[in-house]
Amino acid sequence: MTLGQTYPAEWKRYTDPISGAQITQLTSYKAHSRHLYFTNPGWYAGGQKLLIGSDRGNRTNLWGIDLTDGSLTQLTDLPELTREPTLLDTSKNPLREEAYMWVNKVLLAVNLETCAVRELYRAPAEFTTTMTNVTADGRYVCTGLYEDLSHRFRVNLEHGYIGFREYWEAKPLSRVLRIAVDTGEAEIVWEEASWIGHINTSPTQPHLLTFCHEGPWQLVDNRIWGFDLRTGQAWKIRPTEPGEAVGHEYWFQDGVHIGYHGSRHGQTIYGAIRYDNTEHIEAPFPVERSWHFSSNSLDLIVGDSDARKPYLLLWRFRDGAFEGPRVLAFHRGSFHVQIVHVHPRFTPGGRQVLYTADPDGYGQVFLADVPEFESLPELSQV
């Protein structure tokens, strides 16, 4: 494998056996590939290319897929590392052809046209790193650090969430950082003794982001937090009460509303709320279980079910209630480790769903065309 080299397309197109939807499998290399985390859009070159992480040549690197012809280009040349990066936490600058990724606690900026790499920031040795996201004006990478407690108890969060509850109980010192993409100047904008993760910037409001208090959803003091980069103010979003749990929050395309899912007194729910806790909509969600949900707005939601019923599912919001689920595709993902979680998300135009699955043993990246909702079979019928 060679930096900057472009390789032939690996894609395959087929008709989903359950729904009849058209599926494009973008990768087929005999190792794991995955798209970025579902809160991190990976499209670049005007939407004609897509960022993925892929394990090729016994290395994990950032690759680009040309969606017009399927060809793949190696964008980084990382050394063999003792702690392999998943690259799920990579983010794309919305205003320049540059992506940002953590590698061995070093934040790198990757030029997606030239493959040049710049070092932006080095995390202190006593901290570990979390999600990156870029402000809507393209000026800053926002990310998080939390104390590395692997010397106190066993930790393997990417492979089985080992140490997850212990981390929550330990209340590690955590920081939210704002790092200038031009200079690498870093500022601690928030710090507290609570496990912080999932730094998500608004796609339209440069001053807004969310972060979460990690841990068991039903036990954390509050999962979703808003933050104003102008004032340094943090606040609870969708405060929870006993018997409630919410999480996997994400911004809608409008950059002011946030979607989430969870449960209320044993009933599965999906909700949307404006960042200032107004315009709150929440309704029962007719599904047994799904690991992740995502959408561009409240109108149409995609979920990934789980390994027992491994389907991509769609719900439509009408008149204050959710219709569905309808089956979009039989993804047959195992959810065995983090890099093969399905993490579905709509393309910017909403006409396809991007996802990762490992039906043949290796994680691969897929695009499912979205037909008319009424044309899809109901889950109860399959």
309 found inside a domain: no
Taking only the tens place, the pLDDT of each residue in 108-160 is 999 999 999 999 999 999 999 999 999 999 999 999 999 999 898 888 777 77
Q: How confident is the model at residue 48 (pLDDT cuts 50, 70, 90)?
A: very high
The answer on pLDDT for 84 being more than 70 is no
Both tokens of 123, joined, read: 């995390």
Rg (CA), the chain: 20
305 found inside a domain: no
Number of Cβ atoms within 10 Å of the Cβ of 217: 18
192 found inside a domain: yes
Helix (H) or strand (E) holding 35: strand 33-35
What's the whole-number average pLDDT of the chain?
94
Phi and psi (nearest 5°) for 55? -100, 95
- Res 290: pLDDT: 80
The answer on pLDDT for 58 being more than 90 is no
Phi and psi (nearest 5°) for 264? -135, 110
| pTM higher than 0.75 | yes
First to last CA, the chain: 42
For residue 293, the one-letter residue type is F
- Res 83: pLDDT: 63
306 found inside a domain: no
| Burial of residue 74, with CB atoms counted within 10 A of its CB: 0-12 exposed, 13-18 middle, 19 or more buried | buried
Phi and psi (nearest 5°) for 277? 70, 20
Strands of the sheet containing 224-228, edge to edge, are 196-201, 208-213, 224-228, 233-237
110 found inside a domain: yes
- Res 217: pLDDT: 86
In the chain, the percentage of residues whose pLDDT exceeds 70 is: 99
Domain with 146 in it: 74-237
Torsion angle of the four alpha carbons 17, 18, 24, 26, in this order, in degrees rounded to the nearest 10 = -90
Q: How confident is the model at residue 288 (pLDDT cuts 50, 70, 90)?
A: low
147 found inside a domain: yes
In the chain, the percentage of residues whose pLDDT exceeds 90 is: 81
Both tokens of 271, joined, read: 């909700």
Q: How far, in Å, CA of 9 to CA of 322, rounded?
A: 39
State the CATH number of the domain containing residue 118: 2.130.10.10
Q: What is the DSSP string of 159-188?
A: TT-BTHHHHHHH--EEEEEEEETTT--EEE
Q: How far, in Å, CA of 215 to CA of 134, rounded?
A: 24
CA 166 to chain centre: 23
The answer on pLDDT for 253 being more than 70 is yes
- Listed in sequence order, the residues at least 6 apart from 335 whose beta carbon sits closer than 8 Å to its beta carbon are 291, 306, 307, 341, 342
Taking only the tens place, the pLDDT of each residue in 189-233 is 999 999 999 999 999 999 999 999 999 888 999 999 999 999 999
Taking only the tens place, the pLDDT of each residue in 154-181 is 887 777 778 789 988 999 999 999 999 9
143 found inside a domain: yes
Domain total of the chain: 1
Taking only the tens place, the pLDDT of each residue in 186-198 is 999 999 999 999 9
- Res 266: pLDDT: 83
229 found inside a domain: yes
Q: How far, in Å, CA of 55 to CA of 77, rounded?
A: 11
Q: What is the mean pLDDT of residues 262-272?
A: 90
For residue 96, the one-letter residue type is R
